[in-house]
Amino acid sequence: MSYRSNFIVGEKTLEDIYEEIRSIYFSNSYPWIVGYSGGKDSTATLQLIWEALEKLPREKLNKPIYVLSSDTSIEIPKVINYVDKNLNLINKAAQRKGLPIQAVKVYPRVSDTFWVNLIGRGYPAPTKEFRWCTDRLKIEPSNRFVIETVNKYGEVVVVLGVRKSESLNREKTITEHKIGNHRLSRHSTLSGALVYTPIEDWTVEDVWNYLLNFESPWGGDNQELFEMYKQANAGEPPVVIGNLFTVNEQSGGSSRFGCWVCTVVKKEKSLSSLIENGETWLKPLQKFREMLVETQDPEKKHIYRDYKRRNGSIYFVKGNCKDGSKKLGRGPYKFEYRKFFLEKLLETEKEVNENNPYGEEIKLISIDELIEIRRIWRLEEGDWEDSVLKIYKKVYGKELEIPREEIGIFSAEDKKLIEMLSKEENVNPKLVIRLLNTCQYNIFSSRRTSLIRKLEKILREEWRSEEEILREVDE
Ligand code: SF4
């Protein structure tokens, strides 16, 4: 027996663990989906699987192992680059060694991304009470891949690098759905998915002990990972980067790398620690996040946020005013601030790239997201001036290269005309624009009644100004 096989982690030798992995791998024909976030726990899990199977004859390895990585698109650029580099190495090494391992990256749908919701639709920066992002960015993309694989193969085994010692909640999740005495459990929400957690009894020390004693079999660098943890946590216990399938963010993600822009946590630690430890080129990200945190100040909400909800209704909040009077509750960010945020985000992207010592281009927002934001702004805000294109040109000094197919027949001149006529007729110009937009986008619909219903809904929205509403309340 080699040094490696006899190496003891927790209460087992590595050979015992390899045996367990092999017996579960061969116990059924379901493909495996290994959640890989690039963090220490998922790295250790994948490394164990790789080592357990690598020595077997290739004809025996007859079912796929997907290494699934979920990218929220708002993770710290240094972390994204590290994960991408490893996914690449995993695919190349697996191909070279003839292993049925394939790394796959999943993303949120374009219409669900952080920026499309925050800048496009005006969703306020997430808080503990209104955390609209976790499901859309983290859970849904991974679950979608699992469901598609279940549909193709009947069942799958999801392999996770979770550990009982992470928290009591985590321990409960791991043990709750176990099938008898077996090492597999039923996934709590995804039918057709079994869960296997090879390192569930390991401690943090076990994980590092293993990773730092044995090199990554796909050519990754476990020492680099260790350094990154140290750098991002400034001496705190090492943590998990992101999380797959069983997102547990009760702590608001405070002990995780998480998203650089996260406003759920009061004090963001990972990005700050990276900056304090020399990654000063990331400072503009910190500044942008602070700007969003500022918009959450209860005293300033009325400055940044609309008095109407996205569905056009209004609501009052009682007792929040110092003088005890009623005040209007707040909805999405005002359009002027959403434009401002886009400009600041692009400026941040530009600045980060100008100072990035590592060379790779950092994209904080994708072209697809810009296209989607442009579509939403034109349709919902009557942004016939095409502000996305203008802002992009202002920041980058060049045209945004996107397909220029027309997404609306109205122009900035048309808007000016409507604003002039609306003033004469004492009508809210935004109402006229919304009605015209709705007619235009439904022009080819054969169902006239559906168009009429949409127009009626718009007419039922609140179209009085904030001042008019408050005046009427006082009377
Ligand atoms: S880390 Fe923060 S911003 Fe990212 S998904 Fe979780 S709550 Fe949302």
**15, 19, 22, 26: CA torsion to nearest 10:** 170
Q: Does the C-beta of 125 come closer than 6 Å to ligand 1?
A: no
The confidence score (pLDDT) of residue 325 equals 66
> Does the C-beta of 258 come closer than 6 Å to ligand 1?
yes
Q: Whose CA is nearest to atom 2 of ligand 1?
A: 262
Protein residue with least CA distance to atom 3, ligand 1: 262
Domain with CATH 3.40.50.620 in the chain: 3-221
- In the numeric block, which tokens belong to residue 315? 């609501």
Give distance in angstroms: CA of 111 to centre of ligand 1: 17
CA 96 to ligand 1 center in whole angstroms: 37
**Pairing of β 32-35 and β 156-159:** parallel
Residue 59 DSSP code:
G
Helices 367-381 and 335-355, packing angle to 10 deg: 170
Rounded to the nearest whole angstrom, what is the distance from the C-alpha of residue 263 to the centroid of ligand 1? 8
Ligand 1: does its nearest atom lie under 6 Å from the Cβ of 22?
A: no
Ligand 1 midpoint to CA 247 (Å) = 10
Give the position, in ligand 1's atom list, of the atom nearest the Cα of 249.
6
Does the beta carbon of 264 lie inside 6 Å of ligand 1?
A: yes
What single-letter amino acid sits at 45?
T
- pLDDT at residue 237 in the model: 34
Q: Is 259 in the pocket of ligand 1 (CB under 6 A)?
A: yes
Kindly state if the Cβ of 137 falls inside 6 Å of ligand 1. yes
Residue 259 CA, ligand 1 centroid: distance in Å? 6
**What pTM was estimated for this model as a whole?**
0.88
pLDDT at 315: 92
Q: How far is the CA of 137 from the centre of ligand 1 (A)?
A: 8
What is residue 159's three-state secondary structure? strand
- Measured in Å, residue 172 CA sits from the centre of ligand 1 at 23
Check if 133 has its Cβ closer than 6 Å to any atom of ligand 1. yes
Under 8 Å between Cβ of 193 and 158: yes
Cα(135) to ligand 1 centroid in Å equals: 9
Residue 442: the pLDDT is 83
- Ligand 1 center–CA 270 separation, angstroms: 13
Decide: 141 in ligand 1 pocket, CB within 6 A.
Answer: no
Cβ-proximal residues to 415 (8 Å cutoff; 6+ apart), any chain: 382, 384, 385, 429, 433
Q: Which residues of the chain have pLDDT under 50?
A: 234-255
Q: Is residue 78 a contact partner of residue 282, using CB atoms and an 8 Å limit?
A: yes
Q: Indicate whether residue 262 lines ligand 1 (CB < 6 A).
A: yes
In this prediction, residue 64 carries a pLDDT of 96
Each residue's pLDDT tens digit, 200-240:
999 999 999 999 999 999 999 999 999 988 887 633 333 33
- Read off the DSSP letter of residue 333: B
Q: Which CATH number fits domain 3-221: 3.40.190.10, 3.40.50.620, 3.40.50.300, 3.30.70.260?
A: 3.40.50.620
DSSP string, 175-219: HHTB-TTSSEEE-SS-TTEEEE-TTTT--HHHHHHHHHHS--TTS
Contact 170, 164 (CB under 8 A): yes
